[in-house]
Amino acid sequence: MTTLTSLAARAGSVAKSLAEASSDLLVQPTVRLGVTGLARSGKTVFTTGLIHQLTGLHPLPALRASQEGRLRRARLVPQPDDDVPRFPFEEHFEALTAERRWPRSTDRISQLRLAVDYERKAGWRSGPASLMVDIVDYPGEWLLDLALIEQTYEGWSRETIAGAQRPGRAAMAAPWLDALRRLDPAQALDEVVAERASDGFKTYLAAVRAGPEAVATTPPGRFLMPGDLAGSPALTFAPLALAGEPAPDSLGGLMERRFEAYKARIVVPFFREHFQRIDRQIVLVDVLAAVDAGAAALAELEEALDRVLMSLRVGRNSVLSRLFAPRADKILFAATKADHLHHASHDRLDALLRLLVARSMRRTEAAGARVGTVALASVRATRETLVHEGADTLRAVAGTPEAGEAIAGEVFDGRTEAAIFPGELPERPEAVLEGAVPPGSLRFPRFRPPPVSRDALGRPGRLPQIRLDRALQFLIGDRLA
């Protein structure tokens, strides 16, 4: 069954890929940009900031087409896929600028099309041109689900149970593991028992998501964001400690069927209809949360990033591959919330992210794809300042902490600006993995978005950012040459 599921996923929709690639090659140049991120990494803010910067034609020095004055206009146009929800850019932008609050996280796939008009560089191809940028925004949990396509129910169960028994997770997994020991996979099929087992497993997953390892995820990703699938049989299963192939009419047989149904009806359609059509991919990562949580969270993050790259269809695209087997030829990993640190630590944050994905980068680049890293803030919530403590002068950041945020016993009201010394990352990234930054030693309160003044016509000004332009140059700069 797993082999058939895998073959179906890889077969995909050849006709659709052929039609899209032919249109791209012969009529309208288009790049399909996938935007995803692990838990609380700021992907909604990234997509909103990207659209704001381009449609506003704000200066983007690291994006060559902008720096050279070749960007003429960028505008939102109707998206190509009518069956995919539209990314609510206007709602999110209003939240950032008018209400000074971070937009709600999205728990489903969404899409926007951006038409970018520009001037080609001098040469035989010089002159006006346009590029369609299809932005596909989706939860990182869905990306990690792609690894399930190659797994059997028995293998997934064994791996998931072993992961729950690791020292960092054993305490939060204890109630679920206790209930699991009382289940006999060979017992007669019982819907009530299956639902109870699934609920216990979901409670464990929610605890992992809320705990210090929230930067990583354990599939199935839809269990914590079911949407209109809530309560469906395809989302009502759990791992079991199997001892061989379960009988069809047993509890184990029921769980195995639903595991395969989850892959066939949820994971494979996402792969076929959306994921296999992505040309470029950015993966947003909250590295700072992992650093502050300690060694276990960093190890979990490294494993999750490795799984991300294993799930991606990567490689150098040729005309034939774009027609029949499109692949992502550029992947960018971005460490978000760089504005929580002084700029002196930004390169160190980038170096730490590069260390975490180094093994995966070598494997991916060998397949012909380019992999990059960057430390950025899609919307910069702070400014840099100096704090004097006795004879010491500390490099700090200043902003407005959200109401309820607390540091050293001080609870903020959401209106008062504060200067905070967040701490520093060590020069050598390996030192972080060796415990040079004790858990909880960094100060990263959640800041409100910055105030943005409006002009005489009531139009909001520019949202500040850090290295968003560098990310854009890596992802689409070559398509604007």
Cis amide leading into 401 (omega within 30)? no
Mean pLDDT of all residues in the chain?
Answer: 88
The verdict on pTM exceeding 0.85 is yes
pLDDT (tens digit per residue) in 336-388: 999 999 999 999 999 999 999 998 788 777 777 889 999 999 999 999 999 88
What own/partner pairs with CB < 8 Å and gap ≥ 24 does 396-404 have? 396/342, 396/420, 396/421, 396/422, 397/339, 397/340, 397/341, 397/342, 397/422, 399/339, 399/447, 399/448, 399/450, 400/100, 400/447, 400/448, 401/445, 401/446, 401/447, 401/448, 402/445, 402/446, 402/447, 402/448
Give the pLDDT confidence score for residue 320 in this predicted structure: 41
| 48 occurs within a structural domain | yes
More confident residue, 277 or 25: 277
| 417 occurs within a structural domain | no
Q: Which of 214, 309, 226, 209 is nearest to 262 (CA)?
A: 226
Flag whether pLDDT at 18 surpasses 70: no
| 395 occurs within a structural domain | no
pLDDT (tens digit per residue) in 114-137: 999 999 987 777 899 999 999 999
Give the pLDDT confidence score for residue 188 in this predicted structure: 96
Flag whether pLDDT at 321 surpasses 50: no
The answer to whether residues 291 and 209 belong to one domain is no
Task: Answer with the one of 210, 238, 269 that is the final residue of a domain.
Answer: 269
pLDDT (tens digit per residue) in 39-72: 789 999 999 999 999 999 999 999 999 999 999 9
pLDDT (tens digit per residue) in 405-433: 998 889 999 999 999 999 999 999 999 98
Give the pLDDT confidence score for residue 350 in this predicted structure: 97
| 357 occurs within a structural domain | yes
Structure tokens that stand for 104 in this block: 């709600």
| 405 occurs within a structural domain | no
| 443 occurs within a structural domain | no
Most confidently predicted of 139-143, 159-163, 268-272, 322-326: 159-163
The answer to whether residues 227 and 292 belong to one domain is no
pLDDT band at 282 (very low <50, low <70, confident <90, very high): very high
Task: Answer with the one of 247, 269, 291 that is the final residue of a domain.
Answer: 269
Give the pLDDT confidence score for residue 265 in this predicted structure: 93
| 168 occurs within a structural domain | yes
Give the pLDDT confidence score for residue 62 in this predicted structure: 98
Structure tokens that stand for 147 in this block: 């690894």
- How far is CA 142 from its chain centroid? 10
Span of 11-15, 173-177, 265-269 with lowest mean pLDDT: 11-15
Flag whether pLDDT at 13 surpasses 50: no
The answer to whether residues 333 and 249 belong to one domain is no
The answer to whether residues 7 and 133 belong to one domain is yes
The answer to whether residues 298 and 175 belong to one domain is no
Give the pLDDT confidence score for residue 212 in this predicted structure: 60
| 432 occurs within a structural domain | no
The answer to whether residues 304 and 208 belong to one domain is no
Task: Answer with the one of 219, 236, 269 that is the final residue of a domain.
Answer: 269
The answer to whether residues 156 and 125 belong to one domain is no
pLDDT band at 467 (very low <50, low <70, confident <90, very high): very high
The answer to whether residues 21 and 131 belong to one domain is yes
What is the radius of gyration, based on Cα positions, of the chain?
Answer: 24
The answer to whether residues 41 and 87 belong to one domain is yes
Flag whether pLDDT at 1 surpasses 90: no
Percent of the chain residues topping a pLDDT of 70: 90
The answer to whether residues 206 and 308 belong to one domain is no
Give the pLDDT confidence score for residue 106 in this predicted structure: 75
Which residue range forms the structural domain that includes residue 30? 2-138+274-378+467-480
pLDDT band at 322 (very low <50, low <70, confident <90, very high): very low
pLDDT band at 319 (very low <50, low <70, confident <90, very high): very low
The answer to whether residues 219 and 281 belong to one domain is no
The answer to whether residues 213 and 323 belong to one domain is no
Flag whether pLDDT at 214 surpasses 90: no
Looking up residue 104, the CATH number of its domain turns out to be 3.40.50.300
Flag whether pLDDT at 323 surpasses 50: no
Flag whether pLDDT at 27 surpasses 80: no
Tally of domains in the chain:
2
